[in-house]
Copies of this chain bind each other. A is one copy, B any other.
């Protein structure tokens, strides 16, 4: 399929990130796609306000315009059920201002502490093209922080009894394997960036990977 046809798969992708670890890990995961080259580009620019999907599409579209070619973007949101999905795409501002305790405090008035993590990868073929979104979601709940407080809100998001920060390497590997992102020999188990928000990011990446390989997956 030619790259300028709708639905064509790219052979070259600019992953919009300033984070070398993210690039290395997404590269490792997508390395099984034949002929796909992935490099990183750091595109400055402000995210807009809006829904998760509006923000992702805008970011992806702008990046493609700046890069002048195919781009891959990533966004993470954390939706609190009791707050009708908020802070959602604004979670990073709330985490940095309020910390883990503050995130818990936002729900003090509500018995329902459930939350959904949403990871959205966006692909845009080039300037003026409509982005395609690959989304992964995981339901869990907001709890007082447990485990190493290293990655974002990992320590206060509990999934099946463990916070993301507490989840041990073997458990992460199992999930990676179940998503086809690590092999039976355990290769992929060192993928900490994906593993640390494994369910939502892993699901989104699994969709993206399958699509890049020519498969039909649910996109937005």
Q: Which residues of A contact B (CB under 8 A)?
A: 46-50, 54, 58, 83-86, 90, 93-94, 97-98, 102, 104-106, 108-110
Name the B residues within 8 Å of A106 (CB-CB): 106, 109
Residues of B within 8 A of A108 (CB): 105, 108-109
Q: Which 5 A-B pairs have the closest CB atoms?
A: A105-B109, A108-B109, A46-B48, A108-B108, A84-B97
Q: How many identical subunits does the complex contain?
A: 2
Query: A83, B58: Cβ atoms under 8 Å?
Result: no
Contacts of A83 in B (CB 8 A): 97-98, 102
Residue of B nearest to A48 (CB): B46
Q: Which residues of chain B are near A98, meaning CB under 8 Å?
A: 83-84, 86
Q: Specify the chain B residue showing the minimal Cβ separation from A110.
A: B105
Residues of B within 8 A of A94 (CB): 86
- Taking the closest CB of chain B, its distance from the CB of A169, in whole angstroms, is 34
Query: Complex: how many Å from CA A188 to CA B106?
Result: 41
**Contact residues in B for A86 (Cβ distance below 8 Å):** 93-94, 97-98
Using Cβ atoms and an 8 Å threshold, which residues of chain B touch A48? 46-49
Q: How far is the CA of A58 from the CA of B94 in the complex (A)?
A: 21
B contact residues around A110 at 8 Å (CB): 105
Return the chain B residue nearest A106 by Cβ. B106
Question: How far is A108 from B84 in the complex, measured between Cα atoms in Å?
Answer: 17
Known pairs A47-B49, A84-B98, A90-B90 / 20 extra A-B pairs, C-beta < 8 Å: A46-B48, A46-B49, A47-B48, A48-B48, A48-B49, A49-B49, A83-B97, A83-B102, A84-B97, A85-B97, A86-B93, A86-B94, A86-B97, A86-B98, A90-B93, A104-B109, A105-B108, A106-B109, A108-B108, A108-B109
* Residue among A47, A84, A93, A108 having the largest count of chain B Cβ atoms under 10 Å: A93
Chain B residue at smallest Cβ distance from A89: B49
Measured between beta carbons, the chain B residues less than 8 angstroms from A54 are: 46
B contact residues around A93 at 8 Å (CB): 49, 86, 90
